[in-house]
């Protein structure tokens, strides 16, 4: 009886789309080491400490994905970038003089604590980031870079790295409510203009699968499940 129950539940669940995520588009981009995430969403001519300005050091705006309709994203990245023109690190970044690197907020965008030169991102809505205060900083020395899922807030800079855990599991990055744009950059303190290298990055979007209307097979499955239950009750009587 248990086997019948689970088989019918599987059939009905399949028709109703239980637990499914629909894979959307995948885009490929190159994120230069000179991409300053604190210039995200800022107009051309905006300057930043250390000699940076938009659009020269603006972060990469991801296009080709419908961010507002995505449930979560996955990433894969290769390559290397430098924060000083000589020390190059992969997407997961490297220790800054033996420790993690801290950076404060700017232009309404949060700071963070992370490995230097790592691939990082920030979600924005359609407004200038300066119109509201910066959210709290994320500390990836505490959170670690080995998470399975991450749910950053709007304007909260987050670590991406190579998009996988240390055991090669794909990490999920949930899109915050209201997000319409995603910017990618690298971790530095100031003066992104003299950074070198960059990361070849693939981004894939996923959305909740649409739940279809009940079909005749689904209705049949539910009816059969009820019949089996009644037969079992009658047999016990």
Distances in Å between the Cα of 230 and the Cα atoms of 2, 13, 78, 236 are 14, 21, 58, 10
Structure tokens at 124: 């924005």
Distances in Å between the Cα of 215 and the Cα atoms of 20, 49, 226 are 17, 60, 17
pLDDT at 24: 86
User: Is the pLDDT confidence value at 230 over 60?
Assistant: no
Indicate the pTM of the whole model. 0.81
User: Is the pLDDT confidence value at 19 over 90?
Assistant: no
183-222 tens-digit pLDDT: 999 999 999 999 999 999 999 999 976 555 554 444 444 4
pLDDT at 21: 79
pLDDT at 235: 53
Burial class (CB in 10 A: 0-12, 13-18, 19+), 78: exposed
pLDDT at 97: 86
Task: List, in order, residues 6 or more apart from 79 with CB less than 8 Å away.
Answer: 90, 91, 197, 198, 199, 200
49-104 tens-digit pLDDT: 999 999 999 999 999 999 999 999 999 999 999 998 889 999 999 998 889 999 99
């Amino acid at each position: 009886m248990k086997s019948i129950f689970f088989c019918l539940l599987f059939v009905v669940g399949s028709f109703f789309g239980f637990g499914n995520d629909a894979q959307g588009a995948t885009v490929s981009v190159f994120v230069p080491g000179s991409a300053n995430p604190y210039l995200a969403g800022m107009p051309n001519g905006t300057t930043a400490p250390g000699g940076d300005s938009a659009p020269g050091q603006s972060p990469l705006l991801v296009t080709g994905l419908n961010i507002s309709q995505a449930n979560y994203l996955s990433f894969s990245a290769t390559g290397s970038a430098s924060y000083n023109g000589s020390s190059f690190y992969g997407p997961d970044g490297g220790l800054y003089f033996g420790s993690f690197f801290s950076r404060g907020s700017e232009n309404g965008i949060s700071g963070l604590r992370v490995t230097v030169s790592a691939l990082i991102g920030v979600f924005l809505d359609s407004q200038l980031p300066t119109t509201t205060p910066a959210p709290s900083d994320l500390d990836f020395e505490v959170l670690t870079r080995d998470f399975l899922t991450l749910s950053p807030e709007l304007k909260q800079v987050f670590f991406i790295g190579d998009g996988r855990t240390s055991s090669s599991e794909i990490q999920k990055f949930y899109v915050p409510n209201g997000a319409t744009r995603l910017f990618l950059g690298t971790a530095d303190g100031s003066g992104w203009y003299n950074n070198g290298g960059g990361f070849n990055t693939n981004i894939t979007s996923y959305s909740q699968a649409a739940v279809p209307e009940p079909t005749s097979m689904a209705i049949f499955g539910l009816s059969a499940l009820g019949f089996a239950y009644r037969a079992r009750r009658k047999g016990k009587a």
